[in-house]
């Protein structure tokens, strides 16, 4: 066996920052007095997700979406045991896309939330309180759907490790995977500093947009004149 580079540092950092953030969001979401912190961490996740989406187009070899997009042909080949590749396998790729999509949806709903007490999501002014309350209801429900997918994700990784004898965790930590000596998979080609700076800049812009500071203050509500009588 030999080891080859598969996950670059930005992809690994993205993953582990996402794990810590999601754990913190589930904890703060359930606490009584941590909603402001919950909102801040949620906005940070917007930056992480936008970074990852861009990295899926301009990142290193195996971080690119086209590299692991689960086409029916790839899934079929995998199920027949004929898939020989590096990076996310076609079934793993399905779960990667599902996790990214659900996390984005959950975060998006949070941005427009209103807890009916004092906390307004940073973009809730765009939709008004009634819709914001409805979206918060969906946010509360979707949290459990996301949790179920995360559970499946972790159980699959344990399954691969102990049943398939395939360690997916170590490459997500060290960046390197073990492949047979004669394997044809090439090591990941780094994306380069300009691509990294571009992805970071767009992520920072998205973070700023998600903070909602650009939304104009509503005009002060008309003061009721006290009738003379
Ligand atoms: C992936 C990102 C997020 C996750 C996993 C998440 C998770 C949760 C969870 C587990 C709850 C508690 C649900 C319940 O009561 O059973 C919650 C509630 C809530 N979250 Fe999030 N959240 C995320 C992002 C956000 C963002 C970005 C905001 C706003 C900036 C936000 C605002 C809220 C609000 C307002 C509530 C309702 C609090 C209440 O009425 O009790 N969340 N979230
Ligand atoms: C302790 C818990 C977790 C462990 C041990 C873990 C482990 C892993 C591993 C080993 C991979 C690589 C899978 C492969 O090679 O195909 C991966 C990928 C991924 N995981 Fe997790 N994970 C955990 C929690 C989470 C959570 C909470 C999320 C958030 C929703 C998440 C989202 C993802 C995503 C989006 C990828 C694809 C990474 C990329 O291509 O950027 N994971 N995870």
User: Please, which pLDDT band fits residue 222 given cuts at 50, 70 and 90?
Assistant: low
Q: Does the beta carbon of 124 sit less than 6 angstroms from any atom of ligand 2?
A: no
Residue 69 lies in a domain: yes
Which ranges of 9-128 would DSSP assign to H, the alpha helix?
9-30, 35-58, 65-68, 72-79, 90-111
For residue 100, the ligand 2 atom closest to its alpha carbon is: 35
d(CA 83, CA 91): 11
pLDDT tens, residue by residue, 36-73: 999 999 999 999 999 999 999 999 999 999 999 999 99
- Bridge partners for 114 per DSSP: 120
Distance 63 CA to ligand 1 centre (A): 28
Residue 132 lies in a domain: yes
Give the global pTM: 0.93
Domains identified in the chain, total number: 1
> CATH no. for residue 34?
1.20.950.20
Residue 85 lies in a domain: yes
Residue 226 lies in a domain: no
Residue 227 lies in a domain: no
For ligand 2, mutation pick of 44, 172, 173, 176 (most atoms within 8 Å of CB): 172
CA dihedral (82, 83, 85, 89) positive or negative: negative
Q: Does the beta carbon of 30 sit less than 6 angstroms from any atom of ligand 1?
A: yes
For residue 113, the ligand 1 atom closest to its alpha carbon is: 35
Q: What is the pLDDT of residue 228?
A: 73
Range of the domain at 71: 2-210
Q: What percent of the chain has pLDDT over 90?
A: 89
Residue 218 lies in a domain: no
Q: Does the beta carbon of 45 sit less than 6 angstroms from any atom of ligand 1?
A: yes
Q: What is the pLDDT of residue 214?
A: 96
pLDDT tens, residue by residue, 120-136: 999 999 999 999 999 99
Distance 166 CA to ligand 1 centre (A): 35
Q: Does the beta carbon of 99 sit less than 6 angstroms from any atom of ligand 2?
A: yes
Residue 186 lies in a domain: yes
Q: What burial class does residue 77 get, using C-beta atoms within 10 Å of its C-beta: 0-12 exposed, 13-18 middle, 19+ buried?
A: middle
Rg (CA), the chain: 22
Determine the longest span between alpha carbons in the chain, in angstroms. 95
Residue 217 lies in a domain: no
Q: Does the beta carbon of 158 sit less than 6 angstroms from any atom of ligand 2?
A: no
């Amino acid at each position: 066996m030999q080891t080859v580079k598969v996950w670059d540092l930005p992809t690994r950092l993205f993953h582990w920052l996402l794990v810590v953030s999601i754990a913190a969001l589930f904890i703060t979401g359930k606490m009584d007095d941590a909603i402001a912190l919950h909102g801040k961490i949620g906005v940070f996740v917007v930056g992480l997700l936008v970074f990852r989406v861009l990295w899926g187009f301009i990142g290193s070899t195996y971080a690119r979406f086209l590299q692991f997009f689960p086409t029916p042909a790839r899934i079929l080949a995998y199920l027949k045991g004929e898939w020989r590749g590096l990076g996310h396998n076609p079934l793993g790729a399905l779960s990667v896309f599902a996790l990214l999509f659900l996390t984005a949806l959950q975060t998006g709903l949070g941005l427009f939330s209103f807890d009916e007490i004092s906390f307004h999501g940073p973009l809730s002014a765009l939709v008004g309180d009634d819709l914001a309350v409805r979206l918060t209801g969906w946010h509360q429900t979707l949290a459990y759907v996301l949790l179920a997918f995360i559970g499946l994700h972790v159980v699959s990784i344990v399954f691969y490790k102990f049943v398939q004898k395939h360690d997916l965790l170590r490459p997500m930590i060290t960046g390197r995977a073990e492949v047979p000596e004669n394997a044809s998979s090439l090591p990941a080609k780094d994306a380069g500093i300009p691509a990294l700076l571009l992805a970071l800049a767009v992520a920072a812009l998205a973070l700023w947009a998600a903070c909602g500071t650009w939304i104009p203050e509503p005009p002060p509500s008309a003061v009721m004149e006290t009738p003379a009588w």
